[in-house]
């Protein structure tokens, strides 16, 4: 098995679980901050 593929699967699983956890208000505050910093 290719290690890159396994890392991708793990990170995708982490991302999915992360996105399902924080409330929308967190993104409402985080997104503008990221846009200002970029």
Tell me the whole-structure pTM to 2 decimals.
0.30
Q: How many residues does the chain have?
A: 38
Distance of alpha carbon 12 from alpha carbon 19, whole angstroms: 10
The boundaries of the domain holding residue 18 are 3-37
Total domains in the chain come to 1
pLDDT at 1 over 60: no
In terms of phi and psi (left: phi > 0; alpha: psi -120 to 50; beta: otherwise), the region of 14 is alpha
Q: What is the pLDDT of residues 5-23, one digit of tens each?
A: 666 666 777 777 766 666 6
DSSP structure string for the chain: --HHHHHHHHHHHHHHHHHHSS-HHHHHHHHHHHHHH-
Q: What is the mean pLDDT of residues 13-38?
A: 75
Mean pLDDT of the chain: 72
Kindly state the percentage of the chain with pLDDT values over 70.
Answer: 53
């Amino acid at each position: 098995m290719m290690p890159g593929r396994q890392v991708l699967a793990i990170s995708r699983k982490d991302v999915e679980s992360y996105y399902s956890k924080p409330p929308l208000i967190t993104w409402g505050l985080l997104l503008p901050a990221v846009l200002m910093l970029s």
